[in-house]
């Protein structure tokens, strides 16, 4: 959710609307709630027409949901970056790290219940959207890049599930798979394509 306090640093970059484009900003909007509302509508425009109901996949017979142990949760909490930006819950990473032993039982139960029910609690998946100008001459909503700040505990939960998903990947994964793979980047993909092209020159 965007608020005016999040936009104070960007208000001096906005210029009046002269082209009549939809979502174009106005300087007068920075002093009211209209600017955050416009940005909220702009960022949520892709979900506006998504009216399909969410379907929950039934587990296969004998299939057990992922269960996290307190030891794994404790390790993730203790390794939280203390300087990580906080989400809408306002809980600092240093607090989670310092109080890991006192919080592991509670968070382990929450995580396992979430996995068993296939439902992510709203307080965990909520995010604060910070509009960051793409360049110094931002004049419309499309000139702002939305940075989502999720709760630090949500990042811990995601990493725990990610570790499990990576362990389930088959060893026969395509060698040309670069996205979402450890120690692989877009530079590796570009180098591979260039090498393949140059060998046939």
Task: Please give the model's pTM, rounded to 2 decimal places.
Answer: 0.68
pLDDT per residue rounded down to tens, the chain (201 residues): 554 444 444 443 333 333 333 434 443 445 457 778 888 888 888 777 777 777 777 777 877 888 999 999 999 999 999 888 999 999 999 999 999 999 999 999 999 999 998 889 998 989 988 888 888 777 788 888 888 999 999 999 999 999 888 888 777 778 888 887 778 888 999 999 999 888 887
Q: What is the pLDDT of residue 142?
A: 84
The 3-state DSSP class for residue 146 equals strand
Rounded CA gap, 152 and 82, in Å? Answer: 10
* Cβ pair 115, 165 in contact under 8 A: no
- 163: CB partners within 8 A, 6+ apart: 72
As a residue count, the chain comes to 201
State both tokens at 173.
């994964």
């Amino acid at each position: 959710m965007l608020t005016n306090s999040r936009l104070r640093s960007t208000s001096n970059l906005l210029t009046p609307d002269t082209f009549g484009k939809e979502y174009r900003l106005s300087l007068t909007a920075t002093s009211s709630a209209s600017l955050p509302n416009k940005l909220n509508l702009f960022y949520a425009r892709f979900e506006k027409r998504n009216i399909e109901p969410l379907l929950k996949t039934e587990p296969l017979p004998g299939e057990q949901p992922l269960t996290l142990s307190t030891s794994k949760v404790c390790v993730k909490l203790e390794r939280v970056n203390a300087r990580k930006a906080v989400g809408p819950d306002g809980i600092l990473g240093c607090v989670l790290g310092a109080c890991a032993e006192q919080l592991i039982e509670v968070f382990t139960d929450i995580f396992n219940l979430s996995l068993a029910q296939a439902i992510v609690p709203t307080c965990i998946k909520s995010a604060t959207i910070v509009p960051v100008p793409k360049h110094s001459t931002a004049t419309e909503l499309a000139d702002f890049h939305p940075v989502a700040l999720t709760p630090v505990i949500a990042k811990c939960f995601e990493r725990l599930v990610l570790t499990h998903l990576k362990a389930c990947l088959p060893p026969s994964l395509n060698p040309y798979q670069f996205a979402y793979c450890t120690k692989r980047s877009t530079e590796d993909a570009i180098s591979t394509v260039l090498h393949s092209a140059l060998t046939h020159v």
